[in-house]
Amino acid sequence: MAKKVGAMHVARVVSRQKNKAGETQEYISHLVRRSYREDGKVKHETVANVSHLPPPAIDTLRKALAGRPLIDAEKDVEITRSLPHGNVAAVMAVARQLGFPSILDPASRRRDIAMALIIARVVQPGSKLATKNWWADTTLGADLGINDASTDEVYAAMDWLLDQQDDIEKQLVGQHLTDGGQVLFDLSSSWVEGHCCPLASRGYSRDGKRGLEHIEYGVLTDTAGRPLAIRVFPGNTGDPTAFIEAVRAVQETFNLHNVVMVGDRGMITSARIDALREAGDIGWISALRAPQVAQLAADGGPLQSTLFDQTNLAEIRHPNFPGERLVACRNPFLAAERARKRGELLDATEKILAPIITAVEEGRLTGAGAIGVKVGKVVNKHKVAKHFEVTITDTSLTVTRREEAISAEAAFDEIYVVRASETHNRMDSAGIVTSYKNLAQVERVFRTIKTTDLEVRPIHHLENRVRAHLLICSLAAYITWHLREKLAPLTFTDENPPTRIDPVAPARRSDAAHQKAARKQQPDGTPLYSFRGLLIHLATLTRNDLRVHGGTVQLLASATETQRKIFQLIGVPIPKTLSSQ
């Protein structure tokens, strides 16, 4: 029968032979063969041995003989677009795990725009115009179909989101707070650009920006520090007023009537406590102000140094605080910090008074009235005027420290007193102190909102836009809290901090956290990043549009080991596209 010749191909032939030592050695050959059929059997004829060629050349020859088209990477392949994808994909994945799409509203374009505003706040905080333009530079805008969103649509989405605030926060509060639990609340402020916001006014600036108008906002969290609700106030709002608004929200908006409110001593004052008693089952944990602490120690009062001979905690009673539990705490570390701060403030006050003293001595400033005006403008700049004795005549100015008053205040530097309504069967003394110190969790939320994570400023909108902007920041902080928790193994975060045996003692980091900080990497060699550094690294995981032979394909860049671990910690595969569903 005639021989029927077939196609040629590259065959990989493996042969094994034993050497003189009896060891088996493997030999691999790459042969160009022609297949043919003869007498009903398939046979192969070796045309050439190409084993000497480099592997890429062998692979190219194999593809060519198989009939696959070959392309010139430089001439036939063009990357038409490359967009950051990993950062927005990670944040979107966590948002979906937290149920944000359903929390916001049924699917709609305005919901997608609102969702994009929240994600952008986590990844790339900026003004609304900058955010709208940034969407087109990531896969977020294309996949949500909002690249063509107008500025009016963005502001309309903010207005809509503000209308949903109570419903959104009810769902978040319902997931993390229940009757019988604790609610943490604290107040912060940020200065405002422009002069169009009716909320902006001058008051106590927690940023130290005197002379600038600002707004205030209070954040409500659970004991773990998850930001669950936010309230915005005019810049001249006092802490007690903001606290009453928070209590009203807890009772009326979130329908919680048997919780313990935890706030600082400037917020939960005696007057506010009287109001809480009238409100029913709302409890409180706070602290006494310095004059109240001094009152407890005066004239043989219950607060004496002998209380702390055996322990750093002591529970006392006083008729001025009926029905309250008072837990006195001694903290030597607090004393050292207060002494340092007081000394710096006293030195700074003397420094700004020195030029005035010199001017009086040289006769350039005379007259008791004129001298008094100059001194009055600066003597209390650092809030320590009470510690100075100022004597003024028409030709002299003497400023001396009131050493006795300073020493009397320093005597209580290491002591603070926590006040609470909680009964003994619900919480012991250590638990009360720990609950009060948990307010540090709210401070972490403020740092997240105000610094490099979310950068709440600049603020220069109309009233409702400011409220919507702060709501976006609060929701972004909620996502950030959970994302930080998931990515803790790749950051310098202490994953398992030691349990505090003594609630008064400062918090300690675990040995594992110290080792991470020293090595700057995980035991397996994975580098450690800051949280912001991880988001920057994720941005290098791009999605690329390639034009090949007139057609277009989309390919994700190969993920680094760190990027793969990030999505493993989140608990999802790396998505090729984003979806808000």
CA distance 114 to 397: 61
At which residue do the structure tokens 């790339």 appear? 124
Over residues 218-228, mean pLDDT:
94
What pLDDT is stored for residue 416 in this prediction? 87
Tell me what the mean pLDDT of segment 214-231 comes to: 94
Check residue 27 and give its pLDDT.
83
Residue 3 pLDDT > 60: no
Tens of pLDDT, residues 403-443: 998 988 888 888 889 999 888 788 888 889 989 989 988 98
Residues counted in the chain: 581
In sequence order, which ranges of 186-325 are alpha helices (DSSP H)? 239-248, 270-279, 290-297
The continuous run of DSSP H or E covering 553 comes out as: strand 551-556
**pLDDT tens digits, 68-113:** 776 666 666 778 889 999 999 999 999 999 999 899 988 899 999 9
Phi-psi region of 22 (alpha: psi -120 to 50; beta: other; left: phi over 0): left
Residue 260 is predicted with a pLDDT of 92
pLDDT for res 315? 87
Please, what is the average pLDDT of the chain? 87
Does the pLDDT value for residue 478 go beyond 90?
A: yes
The pLDDT tens digits of the residues spanning 536-561 come to: 999 999 999 888 766 778 889 999 99
b (16+ CB within 10 A) / e for 152-176 = eebbbbbebbbeebeebbbebbeee
- Contact indicator for 313, 326 with CB cutoff of 8 Å: no
- With beta carbons less than 8 A apart as the criterion, state whether 223 and 435 touch: yes
The pLDDT value given to residue 74: 61
| pLDDT exceeds 50 at position 1 | no
CB of 444 closer than 8 Å to CB of 510: no
Q: Are 133 and 154 in contact (CB under 8 A)?
A: no
- The stretch 244-273 carries a mean pLDDT of 89
In the predicted model, what is the mean pLDDT of residues 47-71?
A: 82
pLDDT at 290: 82
Residue % of the chain over a pLDDT of 90: 45
Nearest-angstrom CA–CA distance, 543 and 558: 10
| Tens digit of each residue's pLDDT (9 = 90 or more) over 180-200 | 899 999 999 888 877 778 888
The pTM for the full model equals 0.81
Output the six-digit token pair for 258.
């048997």
What integer pLDDT is reported at residue 309 of this predicted model? 61
> Can you list the positions of beta strands (E) in 259-355?
260-262, 283-287, 313-316, 325-330
Each residue of 141-150: pLDDT tens digit? 999 999 999 9
Number of H helices, E strands in the chain: 21, 16
**pLDDT at residue number 75:** 62
